Chain A
Amino acid sequence: MINQDQITLAQATDPWGNPVASDEESSLLMQQDSSVLDPWGQSSSEPIPPQDSVATAGSWLDGIEQAPEVQNTLAEPFAAPWFDMRAIINDFVAVVVRQTRDFFDITKQPVEWVLDFFAWLLSSGLHPLIFILLFALLCWQLSGWKLAIGAVVGLVFLGAMNVWDEAMITLALVLSALFFCLIIGIPLGILMSKSDRFAGFLRPVLDAMQTTPAFVYLVPVVMLFGIGRIPGVIVTIIFSVPPLIRLTNLGIRQVPDDLVEASRSFGASARQILWRVQLPLATPTIMAGVNQALMLSLSMVVIASMIAVPGLGLMVLRGIGRLDVGLATVGGLAIVILAILLDRMTQSLGREARERGTRHWYQTGPIGWSLSLLQTLKSK
């Protein structure tokens, strides 16, 4: 199906000959369809040559092929390739893609549903001002009133810069990725903590995942899932789930043995130990994992703009492409604001309740405030 000679940039955008934008993408996020399909090709006046120069770009990329014939000699053993790795992989991938097409299409489904939900919620479900209010209340609850004020200022600034829609798209992508990180990462982490064998198997996989540079992740994902926002979320999940798995495992393993032993001595089953002792005590560590996953998601969502993922990352990418420093900076600034808010919020989740001076989350913030108000009203 795919001949290596035919690979050009134009086809790489859609290697399966499938109209990506109209079918798979909701019109909401893909209002800039054309720009998504070709983020570099805005107009011919751009400094970087756009669409019409695809052929040139192709020949630049394919430069090795057009190099004059060279022979390997003892003096220069690596002048020419010994075997055509590229062709082997391309052939292999062609086969794999054809065989696994249906499977990966199915895998994409749940991601699409979740992403659509978040995208709808953040873009049209909630009025921006209501969103800001809710977000600020959440910040107040989780962290404190200082962060709530910061959230209001930051979010209003996003709107004022006219990047609200892009920011919401990015947030929807991040939240979707986080959602899947949680439902994949925490169970895997628990499993890892329970079985040394599974841990021994998973650890090298996680090592490999974490040593692979973010950029390289894009390659297999594009092959198997294509491009667009859903593959973007998938690559983000894969990129950001390892620390959550690791920290969940670590958190559970760090629960003091004597507590587990005491629980057993009182007749607790393995499930009761997990739910009543290990998970509550591992919560701060797991929350640190959630924080890490969230931060990695945000950075990956930006990098994933290279595979036509919309949002703030695309602004940065387009800004760089056009040497439009202003555009890139606006995108970057918005990302930083989002990152700081999300980081502060989740970091406070990881802190021990003791450090915050109270024992229970419902004793502080707007909820604690309304509860105590309710109580005073009742007592009157």
Chain B
Amino acid sequence: MTVKLEVQSLYKVFGDRPKQALAMLAEGLTKEDVFQKTGQNVGVKDACLSINKGEIFVIMGLSGSGKSTLVRLLNRLIEPSAGKVLLDGEDISAMSDNQLRELRLKRISMVFQSFALMPHLNVMENVCFGLSLAGMPQDQQVQKASAALAQVGLAEHGNSYPDELSGGMQQRVGLARALAIDPEVLLMDEAFSALDPLIRAGMQDELLQLQAQKQRTIVFISHDLDEAMRIGDRIAIMQGGEVVQVGTPEDILHKPANDYVRSFFRGVNLAQVYSAKDIAKKPSTLIVRKHPKMGVATAINQLQENDREFGYVITPDRQWLGLVSLSSLVKADQKDQTLDSALLADAATLGADEPISEIIGSVATSAFALPVVDAKQQFIGVVSKTALLQSLDGDTSS
């Protein structure tokens, strides 16, 4: 995996004496101290990131955490106070104005929260905007722009004006405008935050589809954990201008670096964040079938000891075999059959990655805790009604 974009101890200080503020930060003072003593506002403090080629990298944080500043430092819409931004090893922060323009014309483009479409241009002209700035011939512009519009499903709307389109459509135009120049890096600043939830989900799906067609490096800014979890290959969490944690969604979910990171999950719809494997637990009646000829006596014993009706049968290497009930075991015992023949025929299982919101129905109606197996039929655990309710309550520690 190659690193596309690398951020090395990047600082941004808003104010007229950034040097002084940087020196104070180097001495170990906090952002608040610096602000109190000098009035200089630290926007981004010592940010280090390496963003891989072809991944969707989400930068998440609350308002004022410096995420929008950070993304603007990446294409130098805001001048960094210190530090480097390397694109394929080339230092963006040291580029001349012309090199920078060239970079923005060809290699990095951006999608904005407010859409930022030109109201005096129609959709086609908006999508052509970046291309025409580069001085591309008209017919090539139209060709590329049409392709970009088709990608976002707006091929028919070239002659409309932005104010005639809905919010979702406008942002598609914004996306098409950014895609038209075929950038290596796509920066998306809260691109879907201004859209209503349904449209937002649709746009996220579309982004994932576009990403599946052609792997771009996307830096996505969001304040929404659901969104970050859904589309992010990796997530960086920012707090007060600092990057406090970088990791995959699972890392961040299971091992939050501090209370701030943990606090993100508070308002989150856990039913969508967690999947079946996250809440699956080891059942008390796990029956290991040591060999195919194994009898049912131990199994009956085990169920009776635990006072349970159902048992979960696996092989020694955790391969899922099936479900047995006390009555099926007793029947097999009477006929002196093996454990295998006691397996229930119609036992349902849950996929490991099924989100909780999808499994509520089947868990609720099932007479037993449902087993969870992954794609390789490995047994992971069971989801009981109790575990499900606990997870919806936001309590996963128990």
Determine chain A's interface SS by DSSP, over half rule. Answer: helix
For residue A261, which residues in chain B have a CB less than 8 angstroms away from its CB? 77, 112, 116
Most buried by A among B106, B119, B134: B119
B133 close to A268 (CB less than 8 A): yes
For residue B122, which residues in chain A have a CB less than 8 angstroms away from its CB? 359
A267 close to B110 (CB less than 8 A): no
Instruction: Please report the C-alpha to C-alpha distance between residue A277 and residue B126 in the assembled complex, in whole angstroms.
Output: 11
The answer to whether residues A272 and B133 also contact, given A267-B102, A280-B120 and a CB cut-off of 8 A, is yes
The answer to whether residues A262 and B105 also contact, given A267-B134, A277-B118, A281-B119 and a CB cut-off of 8 A, is no
B103 close to A258 (CB less than 8 A): no
For residue A354, which residues in chain B have a CB less than 8 angstroms away from its CB? 163
The answer to whether residues A281 and B112 also contact, given A266-B105, A267-B105 and a CB cut-off of 8 A, is no
Determine chain B's interface SS by DSSP, over half rule. Answer: mixed
B104 closest partner in A (C-beta) = A267
For residue A359, which residues in chain B have a CB less than 8 angstroms away from its CB? 122, 161
B103 closest partner in A (C-beta) = A267
B114 within 8 A of A: yes
Q: Can you offer 22 A-B residue contacts whose CB atoms are under 8 A?
A: A256-B114, A258-B112, A259-B116, A261-B77, A261-B112, A261-B116, A262-B110, A262-B112, A264-B77, A265-B104, A265-B109, A265-B112, A265-B187, A266-B105, A266-B133, A266-B177, A267-B101, A267-B133, A267-B134, A272-B133, A281-B119, A354-B163
Partner of A266 from B120, B130, B163 at Cβ < 8 Å: B130
Q: Which of A234-289 contact B (CB under 8 A)?
A: 256, 258-259, 261-269, 272, 276-277, 280-281
How many A residues are at the interface, by size bracket? 10 to 19
For residue A267, which residues in chain B have a CB less than 8 angstroms away from its CB? 100-106, 130, 133-134
A281 closest partner in B (C-beta) = B120
B129 closest partner in A (C-beta) = A266
Instruction: Please report the C-alpha to C-alpha distance between residue A281 and residue B119 in the assembled complex, in whole angstroms.
Output: 8
A260 closest partner in B (C-beta) = B116
B81 within 8 A of A: no
A258-B116, A259-B118, A267-B133 known; 6 new pairs, CB 8 Å cut-off, are: A256-B116, A262-B110, A262-B116, A263-B133, A276-B133, A354-B163
A98 to nearest B CB, angstroms? 48
B75 within 8 A of A: yes
B221 to nearest A CB, angstroms? 13
For residue A259, which residues in chain B have a CB less than 8 angstroms away from its CB? 116, 118
For residue B109, which residues in chain A have a CB less than 8 angstroms away from its CB? 265-266
Instruction: Please report the C-alpha to C-alpha distance between residue A106 and residue B77 in the assembled complex, in whole angstroms.
Output: 46
A177 to nearest B CB, angstroms? 30
For residue A256, which residues in chain B have a CB less than 8 angstroms away from its CB? 114, 116
For residue B110, which residues in chain A have a CB less than 8 angstroms away from its CB? 262, 265-266
Instruction: Please report the C-alpha to C-alpha distance between residue A256 and residue B162 in the assembled complex, in whole angstroms.
Output: 15
